[in-house]
Structure 1
């Protein structure tokens, strides 16, 4: 396997995970019968974003790098807010 093939796999994996977050949100909302964003959405967002950011850095694409970097920070912050609002167990 060539280096280029490996990076293409990373890029496609990132895109697959990133797209999977929408499928998760859609199915979860159908299950709840209302529009809901499950916590898993944010984890998939972070994972997909990290993979795509790695690929963007490899490609040296500044537009892609900035977009994924900002998105990653937003996803991380959402997870921090969710963790902060969880009730603490005694």
Structure 2
């Protein structure tokens, strides 16, 4: 039973990541890497500051990864991805707009 499970799992991984590999799967994987990078950026910035901060790069990676994931969802016709990323991308863009507005007015924010 355990051997059969291992073989089935191996076949599943091969089917998902090798047999079905095309441009859009590669695009989706890169999008996910961008999206994941935002957490590394936030963690490193917080460690350097000695407190929790959300740097502008976090929002840039969020927007880039979110837009790429949205495009992937549209091409692959995945309604869950489309709905989730469409709303999230609006939030990312709005946060960037607020940061730029605050920087232009000379406000002190944690987003530097």
Same fold (TM over 0.5): yes
Q: What is the 5 A alignment of 1:7-18? A: 7-18=24-35
CA RMSD of aligned residues (A): 1.3
Q: What do the CA deviations read for 1:47-76 (whole angstroms, capped 9, x no partner)?
A: 000110111001101111010000000000
Q: What is the 5 A alignment of 1:11-90? A: 11-88=28-105
TM-score by length of 2: 0.73
Q: Which runs of 4+ in 1 moved over 3 A?
A: none
Return 5+ residue gaps in structure 1 as ranges.
none
TM-score by length of 1: 0.90
Q: How many residues align?
A: 86
